[in-house]
């Protein structure tokens, strides 16, 4: 319930939906920079390792090749690797051209292969099959030229068996990269979909809470409408006396004028409360001094109507302002209704403690029913929202907690002395 009450201030805004294959949400600058740095470092280190291993194997396989050919192969391999590393950070600016270029380079250059593989995975996350097909074709073309036709910078070609095996392994790695990229893209879309659904749920809950609060404010405004009508009827009655009773002596006329004056002042206070209740949540207003509605004195009969409810009042109820008393009565009434709904047949205790000039505290505690819930699944827990709205309308607070098998609602209302 505390989470339910806190939802009003979250200001949650749903994230607009993204089309399938769209890039994941923007990250902070530091995260983007670090992401590029570790990819570059990983490609550099792994590419250097592959270059050393590949060059060593090339020396063994091409023992008859001249030093010029070996040196040319090494220089070309390193040059293509550096180009691949330079293009890697720009893979999102021109995905398809960079993926095709690095796909062609990845088959020829061991140093460029890790960076080209990362670009292959990256473009596969977009799940656009034309782009994936073009990139895979570039990879397979370069692998075929190297392994089948021996175009590896004029080194001696491999034997047919070794070449076919190398081509098969390369193709498996290429399709594995595609599978990894597509899987990452699917996961991103799923996460985005779940995030969007969660935001929609939050927005819907916020709308339901706002509707419940508006409904509660409307009910309070209706109560104050009755109060205001009562005041105005008194004013009309006594002003009518002043108009038609010409036989009143000075003392009676002065008393009647005083009654009209006091009642008018109280009616203005009631009107301020009505307008305050109808304002947007969070606005404060000054409560009036009195109101002919259920008061704290009526709580005793309300509690005694519940067979298993007990009441303890440690406060001078006669000194409590009528507005505070009326809201206290409604709060206790709602708490008893919730207890009867969620924990039927369980004992309920109502403690009312307060001091004039400080605050009035209402504590309603009920034992939980076996397997019971503290929130009504059918009603959405809006009774508790109404309690919180009433408390906030007077500048008070409301809290709900469940501990040691008991459900406790604690409401604190200000207790003005005048």
Minimum mean pLDDT range among 198-212, 363-377, 388-402: 363-377
Mean pLDDT of all residues in 304-319: 75
Average pLDDT of 117-145? 89
- Say how far residue 263 (Cα) sits from the centre of its chain: 48
Name the band, by pLDDT with cuts 50, 70 and 90, for residue 162.
Answer: low
What is the mean predicted confidence (pLDDT) over 258-275?
Answer: 77
Q: How many CB atoms lie within 10 A of CB 59?
A: 14
Cα(106)–Cα(306) distance, integer angstroms: 81
pLDDT above 70: residue 227: no
Please determine, looking at this structure, whether the domain spanning 296-414 carries the CATH number 3.30.565.10: yes
pLDDT digits (tens, 9 = 90+) for 67-103: 666 677 788 888 888 888 888 888 888 888 898 889 8
Q: Is 400 helix (H, G, I), strand (E, B) or coil?
A: strand
All residues at 6 or more sequence positions from 68 whose CB lies less than 8 Å from its CB, including other chains: none
Q: What is the pLDDT of residue 200?
A: 92
Query: What does the pLDDT look like over 373-396, one tens digit per residue?
Result: 544 444 444 568 878 888 888 889
* Rounded-to-integer distance, Cα 75 and Cα 361, Å: 83
Query: Could you tell me which residue, 196 or 218, shows the higher pLDDT?
Result: 196
Question: What gap in Å lies between CA 63 and CA 110, rounded to an integer?
Answer: 19
Sequence-ordered list of residues with C-beta below 8 angstroms from that of 412, at least 6 positions apart, any chain: 359, 360, 361, 362, 391, 396, 397, 398
Average pLDDT, the chain: 76
pLDDT at 230: 57
Count Cα neighbours of 29 within 13 Å in the Cβ-side half-sphere.
0
How much is the pLDDT for 346?
83
Cα separation, 240 vs 238, in Å, equals: 5
Task: Quick: pLDDT tens for 344-368.
Answer: 778 889 999 988 888 899 999 998 8
CA distance 184 to 65: 44
Mean pLDDT to the nearest integer, 108-135: 89
pLDDT recorded at residue 58: 64
Q: How confident is the model at residue 63 (pLDDT cuts 50, 70, 90)?
A: very low
Residue 380 has a pLDDT of 43
Instruction: Identify the pLDDT of residue 286.
Output: 42
Per-residue pLDDT reduced to its tens digit, 229-247: 656 766 777 787 788 777 8
pLDDT over 70 (residue 267): yes
Q: What is the mean pLDDT of residues 142-160?
A: 62
Buried b (16+ CB within 10 A) or exposed e, 22-49: eeeeeeeeeeeeeeeeebbeebbebbee
pTM score over 0.85? no
Is the pLDDT confidence value at 61 over 60? no
Of the given ranges (96-100, 264-268, 303-307), which has the lowest mean pLDDT? Answer: 303-307
What residues form DSSP beta bridges with 354?
360
Least trusted range by pLDDT, from 70-74, 191-195, 201-205, 388-392:
70-74
pLDDT reported for residue 283: 47
Report CA torsion sign: 17, 19, 24, 26. Answer: negative
C-alpha distances (whole Å) from 106 to each of 53, 102, 412 are 15, 6, 71
**Is residue 153 over pLDDT 90?**
no
């Amino acid at each position: 319930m505390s989470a339910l009450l806190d939802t009003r201030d979250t200001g949650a805004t749903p994230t607009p939906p993204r089309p399938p294959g769209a890039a994941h949400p923007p990250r902070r600058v530091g995260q983007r920079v670090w992401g590029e740095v570790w990819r570059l470092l990983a490609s550099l280190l792994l590419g250097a390792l592959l270059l050393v291993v590949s060059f060593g194997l090339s020396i063994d396989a091409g023992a008859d090749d001249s030093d010029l050919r070996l040196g040319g192969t090494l220089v070309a391999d390193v040059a293509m690797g550096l180009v691949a590393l330079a293009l890697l950070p720009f893979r999102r600016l021109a995905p398809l051209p960079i993926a095709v270029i690095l796909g062609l380079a990845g088959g020829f250059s061991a140093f460029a292969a890790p960076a080209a593989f990362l670009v292959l995975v990256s473009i596969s996350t977009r799940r656009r099959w034309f782009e994936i097909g073009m990139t895979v074709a570039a990879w397979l073309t370069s692998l075929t030229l190297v392994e089948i036709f021996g175009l590896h910078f004029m080194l001696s070609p491999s034997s047919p068996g070794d070449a076919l095996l190398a081509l098969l392994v390369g193709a498996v790695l290429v399709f594995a990269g595609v599978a990894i990229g597509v899987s990452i893209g699917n996961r991103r879309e799923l996460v985005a979909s779940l995030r969007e659904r969660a935001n929609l749920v939050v927005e819907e809950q916020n709308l339901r809470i706002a509707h419940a609060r508006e409904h509660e404010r409307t009910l309070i405004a209706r109560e104050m409408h009755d109060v205001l009508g009562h005041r105005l009827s008194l004013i009309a009655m006594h002003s009518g006396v002043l108009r038609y009773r010409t036989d009143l002596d000075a003392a009676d006329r002065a008393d009647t004028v005083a009654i009209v004056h006091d009642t008018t002042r109280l009616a203005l206070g009631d009107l301020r409360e009505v307008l305050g209740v109808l304002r947007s949540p969070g606005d404060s207003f000054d409560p009036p001094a009195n109101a002919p509605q259920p008061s704290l004195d009526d709580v005793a009969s309300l509690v005694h109507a519940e067979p298993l409810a007990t009441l303890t009042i440690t406060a001078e109820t006669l000194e409590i302002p009528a507005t505070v008393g009326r809201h206290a009565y409604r709060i206790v009434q709602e708490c008893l209704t919730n207890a009867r709904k969620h924990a039927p047949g369980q004992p309920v205790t109502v403690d009312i403690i307060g001091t004039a000039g400080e605050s009035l505290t209402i504590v309603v505690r009920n034992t939980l029913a076996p397997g019971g819930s503290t929130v009504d699944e059918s009603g959405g827990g809006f009774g508790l929202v109404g309690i919180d709205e009433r408390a906030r309308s007077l500048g008070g607070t409301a809290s709900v907690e469940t501990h040691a098998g008991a459900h406790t609602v604690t409401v604190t209302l200000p207790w003005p002395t005048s």
